Chain A
Amino acid sequence: MFTPPPLRVLVSMAIPVFAGLLVSCVSLEFDRMTGTTFPPQHTVNGQPVTLESIFDDAGIKLTVEQDDTGIQPLNIAEDECISDAELSALENGHRHLSLFPTAACPFDFCNTYHLYGAVVNHYGEVLDVCLPEFILGKMWQGHTRSAFAIFYRMNSIQSGGPEYLRTTAHEIGHAFNLHHSDGDGTSLMTQSDDLTGDPVYRFSEQSREHLANHPGQCKFPGAIGAAPFTWVSNDHAVWVHPLEELTITDCQ
């Protein structure tokens, strides 16, 4: 006669099954101001390259949810730069509390991390000073790495599709706790001034290792208990990082 196994046995059997089905994906809520475009698709060796494909290539499911695409730029004639306080106000006014992607993560039991991005029709400000043609992008909410902005007034952003796509992927890379030293001279995290050859639209092997294998709290943007920017696992810290001072954390 068949005796059903106790509930705890069923639960212990079910956990690995659910864990196997659990998908970690990042939902990018991407807003932009009128007069801007989203980062265009770029073609490399006949293959289309998009934000999604760049991250998919590194094993990360990124869904880009174009959300509010009609934010009216608030222009002040004598001041072309948006300040950090104003960027923060933009996020306060436009970021949703949560966002569940529909495409990449169709299951109810997936882990979804929420990243906010905005393309602003301004220049960026540094040290309380407006310096046009100087800042490409910013990443903030550094304690969880969950927001970024691209400054569309920059000539290289407006006029250069590939540069625009590269900058956006680069800022999202920071949100994934990647640093300039995680680039390899031509890959996405290398700063444009430090390129040693033609830029490629993929992450370096070091970056890919981080994205694939390091603990979720140390990589996913906006994770509960996320490690702040530059706080990394020991495995990440042992790589040579001449440009950054990293803090080792257990990523718990």
Chain B
Amino acid sequence: MHLDSIARLSRKVFLVCVIALLFPAVWSNDGLAQEGPGSATLELTLDMGESALSLGEPVYATVRLVNAGTKAVEVFKLLDPQTGAIQIEVSSSNRPRFVFLPLFYADAVHPRIALAPGEAVVAIFPVFYGALGWTFDRPGTYRVTAEYRPQGAPQQDRIRSPAASVTVADEHGVGASLLTGSSAGEEAAKFLLWQRGDQLQAGQALLTGLLTQHPESPLADYALLAFGRNLSRSFRNYAVGKIREADCEPALSYFQRVRSDRLPVFLQIQQGLDEARCLIRLSRPAEARASMERAERLRAGRPEFALLFQQAIRLEPALGRNSDIHTPHR
């Protein structure tokens, strides 16, 4: 090696060392701790809602990542398996351990925020159906854990939630009719998952049959909610190249049949917001306000539901202006 190239290399090494020495000082000045070795300050919990479920019943996980430390920590702002920010592991005596794989995998930009001490990031998402099919696909007891991987941390520094237990029973074979592996069953799962999808005709037909045959089953309320939510919003049906406009009268009919108290609070709020949006469209402001107030009561100030309200207001701006709810919209 020539001397001048050695000199150039030495200068580079020196520069790297200087930057390496300066970096922690700069970092500590802004009070933002990087995840990683210091990630013991982060705590993760998982709540699966009901611990006893029927086969085929939609299941939603609530994950909460808390900064229990004294410095701000950079974390993912949306704890969604779609973005890879959180991973859900499932195991049971009947099925080997597997990682829940969402149907869609998303690449986001600027996905991280600084989480102040004492603050939490919370997210609720469906885990009952994904790219591997039904997650809880047979009766039994399942052990579910959530895992968060701090950016830049070694693999062993992953943060794992305490396990949650879910027991699944097949009540009168209701759910089994969905889990046959047929394309209609798969479509029904997607319709329950997305709560929309005009192209999923076979799945909708299967769920309609289920509503007729087993109107008292837990699954029936999720199906009614899915039908109502689908109709409450316009749908871009690219399969036929047309928009199907929101159809609020039948949407409200479905909502009226839902026994909301059987659903997770998260879904009750969504139902309330969709009802309010539809009632504004139908120029029924007093009822719209009552639905909105019910959704607000269920929210009880919890920040994890803020996105639901933002989305509802985006779709119907009048929901964000209390006075406008009194004014007929159309």
Contact = CB atoms under 8 A, between A and B. Distances in A.
Interface stretch (A10-18, A202-210, A238-246): A238-246
Interface residues of A, number: 56
Given A88-B199, A142-B131, A228-B131, A76 B107 contact: no
25 contacts: A72-B241, A74-B242, A76-B236, A78-B315, A84-B194, A85-B200, A87-B104, A89-B197, A89-B236, A94-B238, A126-B82, A127-B80, A127-B82, A133-B109, A135-B109, A136-B107, A139-B104, A143-B133, A174-B105, A193-B110, A193-B112, A230-B99, A242-B152, A242-B153, A242-B154
Interface in A167-220: 167, 170-171, 174, 180, 191-194
B155 interface: yes
B108 A245 contact: no
Given A89-B197, A127-B78, A130-B311, 13 more contacts: A79-B315, A89-B198, A92-B239, A93-B241, A128-B195, A134-B109, A134-B110, A138-B106, A142-B132, A154-B109, A193-B110, A230-B99, A244-B87
A66 interface: no
A193 B83 CA distance: 13
A243 B84 contact: yes
B111 A127 contact: no
B190 interface: yes
Given A85-B190, A228-B131, A247 B99 contact: yes
Nearest to B308: A129
B241 to A, nearest CB: 7
A192 B108 CA distance: 9
Contacts of A170: 107
B123 interface: yes
A78 B311 CA distance: 10
B307 interface: yes
A128 B193 CA distance: 10
Contact of B234 (A76, A141, A241, A247): A76
B314 interface: yes
Interface string B183-201: 0000000100011111110
A115 interface: no
Contact of A136 (B98, B109, B123, B196): B109
Interface string B230-255: 00011111111111000000000000
Interface residues of B, number: 63
Contact of B243 (A74, A78, A83, A134): A74
A180 B307 CA distance: 27
A124 B153 CA distance: 29
A142 B105 contact: yes
B287 interface: no
Interface string B290-311: 0000000000000000011011
Interface in A40-72: 71-72
A130 B314 contact: yes
Sorted from nearest, which 10 A-B pairs have the closest CB atoms?
A: A142-B131, A93-B239, A90-B238, A74-B236, A85-B194, A85-B197, A89-B199, A89-B239, A129-B311, A140-B104
Contact of B149 (A124, A134, A242): A242
A26 interface: no
A137 interface: yes
A170 B106 CA distance: 11
A76 B197 contact: no
A94 to B, nearest CB: 7
Nearest to B313: A78
Contacts of B107: 135-138, 167, 170-171, 174, 191
A140 B109 contact: no
A108 interface: no
A85 B200 CA distance: 9
A143 B123 CA distance: 25
Interface string B64-102: 000000000000001010111001010000000011011
A215 to B, nearest CB: 19
Interface in A75-102: 76, 78-79, 82-90, 92-94
A158 interface: no
B130 interface: yes
B103 interface: yes
Given A127-B307, A245-B89, A229 B108 contact: no
A24 interface: no
B280 to A, nearest CB: 12
A156 interface: yes
Contacts of B242: 74
Contacts of A83: 194, 196
